[in-house]
Amino acid sequence: MFCVVMAGGSGTRFWPRSRENKAKQYLKIFGKESLILSTIKRFEKIVGWDNIYIVSKSKQVEILKRHSGKVPESNMIFEPVGKNTAPCIGLAAIQLIKTDPNAVMIVTPSDHLVKNTRQFKKSMMAAAQLAEEENALVTIGIRPTRPSTGYGYIQINGDQRTIHGVHAFRVKTFAEKPNFETAQRFVESGDFFWNSGIFIFKASVILQAIEEHLPELHESLMQIRDAIQTDQYDAVLDRVYHQIRSVSIDYGVMELAKNVFMIRGDFTWNDLGSWDQVYKLSHQDSNANAVLGQAVLVDTKNSYISADRGVVAVIGMEDVVVVRDGDAVLVCPRKRSEQVKQIVERLKREKQNDYL
C-alpha cells in the first residue's frame, strides 16, 4: 500500500503568503508545520515513510526536500510541467507498478486540512480494501455542510455497504463545481458529497482505466515507463510530458469509469481555499480575531491578521483580512478573500514579477 502525494500546484489563493516559488502546500498556514508535511505525516502513520511517493514539479525540488520529512529522495517524482491530475497519477502508477505489481495507491492532494486522523486512517484502510478486492476506483466524499460553489460533487446511489464501520457507496455521477442554486439542491438532496480529491485504486487498475478512457495518455505513459532506469529517462519524460494534454483524473477517467465507489469520509476536512476558510479554522481570541504573528488591534473584530515579521496595527475594522508577508501587504474584506487571485493576475499582467 502506497501513498502518492500530489504536490505540483502553485496556488494563488494565499498571496502574498503563497508565491510562485512558495506554493500553498509549503505554507505553515496555521503557524506550525507546512500543509504538505502535515499530509505526509498523516500518511506515514498509514503506509510508512518508505511507501510515500511525492509528485512535484522540477522547480520545487529544493523546497520539497525541506518539507518532506523522511520520505526517501528516490520516492520523489518530478514532472517537467504540470498537466493536471491524470498524467500525474499515471506517472506515479507506472513507477509503483515497477516496485510492486499489486500496488494499491492512495492519491492525495498535499494542501488540505484533515482533523481526526484516526477516523481518516480507518477510511483509507476501508478504501484500500475495496480497491483491492473489487478492483474498484475509490474516491473519498465529504458530507457537505453548506452549499459550496467551490467544490466538485459526487452523487451516490443508495446502495450502501459497510467495511469495518466505514460507509461505502457506488458512485452515480461526478458533478463539476455548481452554481449556488444547484449547490443548494445538491446539499438538500442528501446524496451529493464534496469531492475531496483523494482517490484509492490499484496502480494496475487505474492504468487500465487510463488506457480505456485516455488512450493517448496511456501511450505516452508507456513510453515513459520504458525509459525508467535508463539514461534516457529525463529526456523522454521531458519530451513526452510537453506533448501530453492537461486533464484531471475526475473528468478524464472517474466520470467515465464503471467500477467507481465513494467512501464517506467521516472526518473533518477542508481544502483551505481562501483566507476566509483559514480564518474560520484558526484559533480565535475573545474578539473573534485570528492572529498569526504580531498585531496591535484596537476595536477590531472577526478578522484574520497575519504578519510574517514586524507588526500589523488595525483600528476599528470588522471582518477583514490583513496579511503582511515579505514585501507585500494584502487588505480585503473576509468575504472577498477569494478575489486575491485578481491581485495575482494583475501583478502578472503588469509583469511585477518580484511580487509573484
Q: What residue ranges bind a second copy (CB under 8 A)?
A: 15-16, 294, 296, 298, 307, 309-317, 320, 322, 324, 326-333, 336, 339-340, 342-343, 346-347, 352, 355
Which C-beta is closer to a second copy: that of 288 or that of 331?
A: 331
E-state strands within the chain: 2-6, 52-57, 76-79, 104-109, 113-115, 137-142, 153-163, 166-175, 192-202, 260-264, 268-270, 290-298, 304-315, 320-325, 328-333
Which C-beta is closer to a second copy: that of 158 or that of 316?
A: 316
CB of 317: closest distance to a second copy in angstroms?
Answer: 6
Which C-beta is closer to a second copy: that of 238 or that of 354?
A: 354
Which C-beta is closer to a second copy: that of 73 or that of 299?
A: 299
Q: How far is Cα 64 from Cα 354, in angstroms, rounded to an integer?
A: 21
CB of 100: closest distance to a second copy in angstroms?
Answer: 48
CB of 273: closest distance to a second copy in angstroms?
Answer: 16
CB of 275: closest distance to a second copy in angstroms?
Answer: 11
Which C-beta is closer to a second copy: that of 121 or that of 336?
A: 336
CB of 276: closest distance to a second copy in angstroms?
Answer: 12
CB of 287: closest distance to a second copy in angstroms?
Answer: 15
Which C-beta is closer to a second copy: that of 133 or that of 350?
A: 350
Q: Are 171 and 156 in contact (CB under 8 A)?
A: yes
CB of 182: closest distance to a second copy in angstroms?
Answer: 26
- Which neighbouring-strand residues pair with 120? none
Which C-beta is closer to a second copy: that of 291 or that of 317?
A: 317
Give the position of cell 482517490. Answer: 199
Q: Are 54 and 7 in contact (CB under 8 A)?
A: yes
Q: Which among 152, 134, 132, 133 is positioned nearest to 142, based on CA atoms?
A: 152
- Which are the contacts of 109, defined by CB distance < 8 A and separation ≥ 6? 5, 6, 9, 39, 197, 198, 271
CB of 293: closest distance to a second copy in angstroms?
Answer: 11
Which C-beta is closer to a second copy: that of 198 or that of 330?
A: 330
Q: Kindly tell me the burial class for residue 33, based on how many C-beta atoms sit within 10 Å of its own C-beta (0-12, 13-18, 19 or more).
A: middle
Q: Are 303 and 316 in contact (CB under 8 A)?
A: no
Q: Which among 28, 22, 73 is positioned nearest to 52, based on CA atoms?
A: 73
Which C-beta is closer to a second copy: that of 228 or that of 288?
A: 288
Q: How far is Cα 90 from Cα 180, in angstroms, rounded to an integer?
A: 33
Q: Are 208 and 90 in contact (CB under 8 A)?
A: no
CB of 291: closest distance to a second copy in angstroms?
Answer: 13
Q: How far is Cα 18 from Cα 27, in angstroms, rounded to an integer?
A: 7
Q: Which among 333, 282, 287, 289 is positioned nearest to 31, based on CA atoms?
A: 282
3-state secondary structure 199-229: EEEEHHHHHHHHHHHCHHHHHHHHHHHHHCC
